[in-house]
Structures are given as C-alpha cells and as structure tokens.
Amino acid sequence: MVTLKDIARLSNVSTATVSRIINNDPTLSVTEETRSRVISIVNELDYKPLRKKSSKLVKQADEFHIGLIMLNDENIDPYFYSIRNGIENSCQQYGLTIVSTMMVGKNNISSESLNGLDGLIVIGDIEIDDLRKIYNKNNNIVAVDYLPLDTNVDVVISDFEGATNQVMEFLFSRGHTDIVYLGGKGNVYELVETKIRKKEDIRKITFEKNMKEKNLYNPTKVLEGDWGTTSGYNLTKQLIESQLLGSAIVVGSDPMAIGVLRALHEADIAVPDSVSVFSFDDIEAAAFMNPPLSSVRVQGDEMGKTAVKLLFDRIKGREIPLKVILPAQLIYRDSVGECIK
C-alpha cells in the first residue's frame, strides 16, 4: 500500500507538506514546481487516502491519520506558525500523519470532514465541547493554546498568568505605576451554530489583578482590539490623543507591539525614555525592532511537539487527560527603562 511517507520520500518534501498539498490547504506556501511534482507522484502511484470505516483504532497499524484544526492565520501571527511547525516536525517520529488541515472560517468542518481520523489537534480558542458534537468517535483530542471547559481532553498551554505576573513585578521594580494594557479581545468559536462566545484573556485578567492589588487600576487604561499590528497602532494613537499613555505599556502580542512602536515614533515619544513597552511572544523580529523589544518568549515549537506526544499517547490507549503548562521566559531588551516621571 502506498503511503504519504512514500510520496514524501520520492518528492523530497515532508509528509506534512504532501498532506497539505493533497488537501488543498489554503495556508500552505510552496512553489508551483513542488506542488506539481507531488501531485504527479500521487497520480503515478495511484495513492488513495486511507479512511477507516470504523471508529475503532487498529493498534497494529504503523501509521495513524490525524486532523489539524486551526483558528488563527499563521501567516499573520508567527506564534501560531511556530506551534504548527512543532507539530509537523514531530509527527513522523510518532507515526502520525496529518491528512486533513482545516481553518475555522475557511473550511467546512463537519462530521464528514473528520470521519476516519484517529485524532485531532486543535489550535486556538475553539469550543471543544461543541467540536465533540461533530467529532464524536473518541477522546483523542488535544487542545493547544486554549483551556477548554471540557476536562476530558488533553491540553497544552503556556504559563501566561505566571509570565504576566513577572512582567508586572519587573515594571513595578523599575518605578512604573501608571501602566496601560493593550490586548486582543478574547473570543471562543463554536462550530455547530457558528457563534462566538466572549472570554477574558488571562494576560488581561492578571494585569488587572496586579494593578488592583496596588490600588493603581484604571479601566480607561485597558484597551482591546484584535491581535494585529494595525490594532496596536490605532489603540496607541487613541491613548496619545486621550492623554492616557502612562509610563509603560504591556502589549498582548508582538504583532500588536510593532504597531505600538510605530505610533509612538510618529508622535516623537521616545522608547524607553518616555514610555516603556513590554510585549508577548518574542517573535524573531522582536530583537530587530527599534528599540529591540522586551518580550515574553513563548515556546510555540515545544507546544506543538508536546501536543503530538500527548495525542500519540491517547491513541495508544491512555485514558487519563493531561494538562501541560509550559513555562514562558522574559527576554529583557532596550524597550523598557526606569520610570522618570
């Protein structure tokens, strides 16, 4: 029987790339030459994707077919790209093959599209209990970057609460008391009725808790938009125009922080002399911004690898759900200084 591994070897690409080409993954970026080569070999070998007719797992099989469901566009947010990269780099080690990649809002996620899959890795704020109404074959589901209400699935998250506490302690130690928070709105996406349920982001909750404990909390200095660069830029402009800037800004993501730094530069507000900025993600570009951005390094690649290991263990029979919280690391650069106000 021809497998994805056979096609990958002959095409000189990864099994994940073969799977994404076969499934017309809209997020995949490869040359037309590579795409044509893979399709040619698929046709030449008459490859037929394996679809199990029974939900019962065949334990003797040397390959399990899994699905990847994503909420966020990795082409926009490098954080999610790193998670996916970790997943794809680990699958072959455990005999897992991604045969279906779906993105909420771009693909029709239905019982038919999930039929025959041995397990799912779900990245982002997607309601797992809702997903079960579509994928009800087994408990082989791993939620990444989201802590669902459903307690019978494996979870991989970063310690955003602990990292935010450390960021606040660091800013307080530098004399900052007038601190602003900029982040994205928290939404959980339900698949069956295509609804959005609001949720509070843990970074925002932890920021507010720290400020309230010191009697420094000001609700007008907590702003939310989306997680992108334009939102960071517009929210910072709003702060400047409203004279609510403060001495430091905690930003929920590095893409937002890029917009923050741009808006401050346009307004001739020096960083960190006038305003300090501390962000989250520590994407590659953070070290090359002007000034280099202090950021919380989130281990996206390790999150992906851990998700694969958890899913493999589930497929092989583990019944007890596990929650893995990976530590985050504060990376101190030139965007944070002493408060001089």
CATH value at residue 294: 3.40.50.2300
Bridge-partner residues for 330, per DSSP?
A: 296
Q: How many domains does the chain have?
A: 2
Q: Is the dihedral of CA 62, 305, 99, 109 positive or negative?
A: positive
Q: Quick one: 231 and 134 in the same domain?
A: no
Q: Is residue 338 part of a domain?
A: no
Q: Quick one: 150 and 264 in the same domain?
A: no
Over its length of 341 residues, how does the chain's per-residue pLDDT go in tens digits?
677 778 888 888 877 788 778 776 655 667 878 888 888 888 888 776 654 443 343 434 467 999 999 886 655 578 888 999 999 989 988 989 998 888 887 777 888 888 889 999 999 998 888 888 888 666 899 999 999 887 889 999 999 999 999 999 999 999 999 999 999 988 888 776 667 888 899 999 999 999 999 999 999 999 999 989 999 999 999 999 999 999 999 999 999 999 999 999 999 999 999 999 999 999 999 999 999 999 999 999 999 999 999 999 999 999 999 999 999 999 999 999 999 76
Q: Quick one: 225 and 292 in the same domain?
A: yes
How would you label 9-33 residue by residue, b for 16+ Cβ within 10 Å and e otherwise? ebbebbbbbbbbbbbebeeeeeeee
Residue 198 CB contacts under 8 Å (≥ 6 apart), including other chains: 185, 186, 187, 188
Q: Which residue has the tokens 């390790």?
A: 302
Residue 3 CB contacts under 8 Å (≥ 6 apart), including other chains: 63, 97
Q: Quick one: 147 and 15 in the same domain?
A: yes
Q: Is residue 52 part of a domain?
A: yes
Q: Is residue 336 part of a domain?
A: no
Q: Quick one: 151 and 199 in the same domain?
A: no
Q: Go through the chain and tell me how many residues it has.
A: 341
For residue 33, the one-letter residue type is E
Backbone angles phi, psi at 138, to 5 degrees: -160, -175
Q: Is residue 22 part of a domain?
A: yes
What is the rounded CA–CA span in Å between residue 274 and residue 188? 36
Q: Which domain holds residue 125?
A: 4-158+300-326
Listed residue (81, 114, 138, 300) closest to 191, CA to CA:
114
Q: Is residue 9 part of a domain?
A: yes
Backbone angles phi, psi at 306, to 5 degrees: -65, -40
Q: Is residue 339 part of a domain?
A: no
